[in-house]
A and B are shown apart, each in its own frame.
Chain A
Amino acid sequence: MGVMNIRTEVKQPEASIPGSAHRHPNLFLRFAKNVRKDIQFILILLPVLIYYIIFHYVPMYGLLIAFKDFQPMKGILGSEWIGFQNFSEFFDSIYFWRLLRNTVLLSLYSLIWGFPVPIIFALMLNELKERFFKKAVQTISYLPHFISLVVVVGMIVTFTSPLDGVINIFLGWFGIGPINFLSEPGWFRTIYVSSGIWQSFGWGSIIYLAAIAGINPQLYEAAEMDGARRWGKIRHVTLPGIMPTIIILFILNFGQLMDVGFEKVLLLYNPATYETGDIIGTFVYRRGVLNAEYGYAAAVGLFNNAINVCLLLTANYLSRKVSETSLW
């Protein structure tokens, strides 16, 4: 996600713009004139637009298979329509509520605990004066982002081993008995969320650092003159300055609540931790292993996306009401 450009629209009275003393009566001509004016921007945008149309919008008709008993030989149109049967099969599972709860909670905890960390980190980095140290810390903080997920999980398994893992040895110094972290449901969310934060906060802070760099330094000087010290400056200049960025990113993250990292859960969980670790994605995966049920998987995916869209709309609406910033 790049930095979203929040444009504030300023309406100009039409009479003051030369050449537009009258509006073209013809809508098409007006459209053509606007296009000609912005033609360079449109050309740059065109490849991306085409990409999205071809690869993201056109395939949407495939969603139909969620409502059908999809047989590849018959094709999408030829397969039998079964309405909401796939959905009801999914909702009828005794584990449906648990799966929903686990999916939402994992995401929610990641968001609540993980969202502030890159921000705080960026703020702290911004306060560093010693350039070399600052660069070094920044670079080191990026590194975990590049480690493959499988390797990270391997590290987690090794570190949390009840027999000779680092964490349990450390706990042993305080007389705390070895904890079988990965086999106890109570620990699953903590491990999932904290390892995710460790891996992403450095890289995530980049966007905030960029936003901070965009704040007018004169504002800081003005604050200084008004008697603000370090904390005051952060609170009254920096934070408000990057607030639009924070809000936009929050909305976007909120709209991905149902997309919990399937691969990471798959690698970390096992039947002993199904209670907190089994999410919608992993359940459907296990079902898919028995039979390639494309219709069923599509139905669950559609369900996930529907929830995500609702969340996105809600977050955007709330944000527009509460602040001046919103995605649209």
Chain B
Amino acid sequence: MSMKKAYMVILSTVMALTATLTACSNPSGKDDASGKGGSAGEAKGTEGQQPVLTGVELSYGTADNYYAPKSLTSGLPVWNEIEKKTGIRIKWDVTPSAQYADTMKLRLAAGQNLPDMISIPEPDPVNLAQKGLIIPLDDLIAKYAPNIQRYFKASPDVAKAMRAPDGKLYALSSDVTGTAYADPYGLLIRQDWLEKLGLQEPKTLDDWYNVLKAFKERDPNGNGKADEIPLSPEANLRGLGLFGSALGLHLFYSEGFYPDKNGKIQYQWMDERAHQLILWLNKLYKEGLIDPQFMTNTDTEVTSGITRNIIGVTNHFINNTNRFNAAQKAAGVNASWQIALPPSGDGYKGFYEKYGPISGWHAITKDSKHPEAAIKWFDYVYGSKEGEMYMNFGIEGQSYKMVNGEPQFTDWTSHNPEGLSFNEALRSLGAMPTVAWIRSATDTSLPNQMPAILKQDPYLQKQADKVKNVLQDSLLYMIGLPTLEESKQTAKLMTDIKTYQDETLSKFILGQTPIDWSKFVNTLKSLGIDQIIRNKQAQYDRFHQK
């Protein structure tokens, strides 16, 4: 019996240990090493100078580093340097990026014990400002943030986009105008398949139809099976909207809302041209040219299909062409993914919409005891040349070096010894962070990261150059923030509208219901789309008044 007893003891010990260890897991790894700070030490330094504040500790609530293995709480080089320069220690109040939005929303709902500064989990700073959770920044910027003032003067449109309808500024947004030109989003195609089949790059929708048909019928992957999926869009239905450029439709970033030549906002999904687009897409689907699972696919499935050498066309940011080529190379195929010119049509020059201009919102909360310190910190990190060097380029000597007065990325960044990608390498040092930063093309006194990246990658540079002249502003470049009333109305109506629209359009394309366009448009009207158009018009008009 003692054998059995011993066995039971061992078993229960093991189980208890397992339970304890699981409960004790510490996902953030290192501790924050906070402890002191947080009191006294008010901001010194006069206007116009780089402030040196000492002894203040500010907490920043944001998503943890996108490069997950190096948490912001582990003391990354970039942030250690910034702490030395500003004298402010940052207590990182972070959650893994996938859970951040939900976590912070709950904290905001509770409204207590908020960090000094936060990344706003949903793109509506006006809402939070109304609730009194974040404070207006204009006075603080005027008194303590000369760099931000300069940046706003140099990029007035971007600054305008950040203002609330009441004219006040409540949150800073990361400027991503630089990304738009250096990493455009568009249709990506297997250039090597085009060459193999002796095809020209498609220009019109008819060309695209012929190319996709050739991909399907002429076995470009050469395995003797008709297993090719000519077009597998990223972002499901939305991705297919890119083809709307041939009909002058702005369906991707603008989501169909676009001003006509009289400055009146139209909802282009109700246009007869959108009807033509849907008819064309339905034709493609019927002939098996679109991935039958395009409604359920996620990034994973599309990448998997690409690696299996069966997909001919998809859509994404161009930096993914490197990822696709590498994945296919690892599977033994020399693929050549490149961005294609956007489809054009009668009287319509093809275009891709630019990503941006701003992304994400960052604010100072009502609970901050040191708003002056916070804005000065922002002034350094978001707005000063020195701070932006850290954000964009990382650590001098490691991730970049100065060559003839211009920053150039080192091999450590572009051909990282541990196999990290560009972004990952920079993020492992703490650059390209989840806080407000500027990746601008408009303020020339600030370092511009994107040309430096492209310089290291001629393959991407070629692609960026190819579509440089067909990039257009989306609606987001032309409107300001909505008022609270507009937000509420839109929220109320948009769920039904979007449900109806997505469902109906997908069934049209899939051929499950016959395409009755007038019914579609009339139903949209009865759901209140006109109110939404009026709201967007108001945002557009306010933006152009200032």
Q: Taking beta carbons and an 8 Å cutoff, which residues of A are in contact with B?
A: 71-75, 89, 93-95, 157, 161-164, 178, 180, 182-185, 270-272, 274-275, 278, 283, 286-287, 289-294
Contacts and interface: CB of A to CB of B under 8 A. Distances in A.
B122 A271 contact: no
Given A184-B512, A290-B495, A291-B122, A157 B296 contact: yes
Contacts of A95: 496, 499
Contacts of A294: 109
B108 interface: yes
B432 to A, nearest CB: 26
B498 A291 contact: no
- A-B residue pairs, 6 tightest by C-beta: A271-B502, A72-B111, A291-B491, A287-B495, A270-B295, A272-B506
Looking at chain B's contact residues, is the secondary structure mostly helix, strand, loop, or mixed?
helix
Interface in B109-147: 109-111, 122, 124, 127, 130-133
A292 B495 contact: no
B270 interface: no
B131 A275 contact: no
A271 B491 contact: no
Given A163-B227, A271-B237, 13 more contacts: A89-B492, A93-B495, A161-B293, A163-B293, A183-B295, A271-B236, A271-B295, A271-B502, A271-B503, A272-B503, A274-B502, A283-B499, A291-B127
B111 A73 contact: yes
A293 B506 CA distance: 28
B391 interface: no
Nearest to B108: A72
B535 interface: no
B56 interface: no
A162 B503 CA distance: 20
A73 B114 CA distance: 12
Nearest to A164: B227
29 contacts: A72-B110, A72-B111, A72-B133, A73-B111, A73-B132, A75-B111, A89-B492, A93-B496, A157-B296, A161-B293, A162-B292, A180-B510, A182-B293, A183-B506, A270-B296, A271-B236, A271-B499, A271-B502, A272-B503, A272-B506, A275-B503, A278-B499, A290-B490, A291-B127, A291-B488, A291-B491, A292-B108, A292-B127, A293-B491
Contacts of B490: 290
Contacts of B496: 93-95
Nearest to A162: B292
Contacts, number: 96
Contact of A72 (B124, B131, B296, B505): B131
Contacts of A163: 227, 229, 292-293
Given A73-B131, A183-B510, A287 B292 contact: no
B279 interface: no
A270 B236 contact: yes
Nearest to B487: A291
Nearest to A292: B105
Interface in B91-121: 105, 108-111
Nearest to A183: B295
Contacts of B122: 289, 291-292
Nearest to A291: B491
A286 B132 CA distance: 25
B487 A183 contact: no
A154 to B, nearest CB: 9
Contacts of B108: 72, 292
Nearest to B507: A272
Nearest to A65: B109
Given A95-B496, A157-B301, A180-B510, A292 B502 contact: no
A162 B111 contact: no
B527 A94 contact: yes
Contact of A180 (B227, B292, B495): B292
Contacts of A283: 495, 499
Contacts of B236: 270-271
Contacts of A185: 512
Interface in B479-518: 487-488, 490-492, 494-496, 498-500, 502-503, 505-507, 510, 512
Given A95-B499, A183-B295, A272 B510 contact: yes
Given A72-B109, A72-B110, A287-B495, A183 B292 contact: yes
Nearest to B308: A164
A73 B133 contact: yes
A289 B490 CA distance: 12
Contacts of B127: 291-292
A164 B227 CA distance: 9
Given A72-B111, A271-B503, A291 B124 contact: yes
Contacts of B498: 286
A287 B491 contact: yes
Given A157-B301, A287-B491, A274 B296 contact: no
Contact of B506 (A71, A157, A271, A290): A271
Interface string B155-173: 0000000000000000000
Interface string B55-98: 00000000000000000000000000000000000000000000
B223 to A, nearest CB: 13
A274 B499 contact: yes
A182 B506 contact: no
A93 B500 CA distance: 11
Nearest to B122: A292
Nearest to B294: A183
Interface in B153-205: none
A139 to B, nearest CB: 18
Contacts of A275: 503
A162 B293 contact: yes
Query: Which interface residue of B124, B293, B301, B527 has the most chain A CB atoms within 10 A?
Result: B293
Contacts of B132: 73
A157 B505 CA distance: 22
Contact of B293 (A89, A180, A286, A291): A180
A180 B291 CA distance: 11
Query: Which interface residue of B124, B130, B131, B503 has the most chain A CB atoms within 10 A?
Result: B503
A47 B105 CA distance: 31
Query: Which interface residue of A157, A163, A283, A292 has the most chain B CB atoms within 10 A?
Result: A292
Interface in B522-537: 527
Nearest to A290: B491
Nearest to B523: A94
B136 to A, nearest CB: 15
Interface in B241-295: 292-293, 295
B481 to A, nearest CB: 14
A292 B296 contact: no
A283 B496 CA distance: 9
A163 B237 CA distance: 19
Interface string B199-236: 00000000000000000000000000001010000001
Contacts of A286: 495, 498-499
A287 B122 CA distance: 13
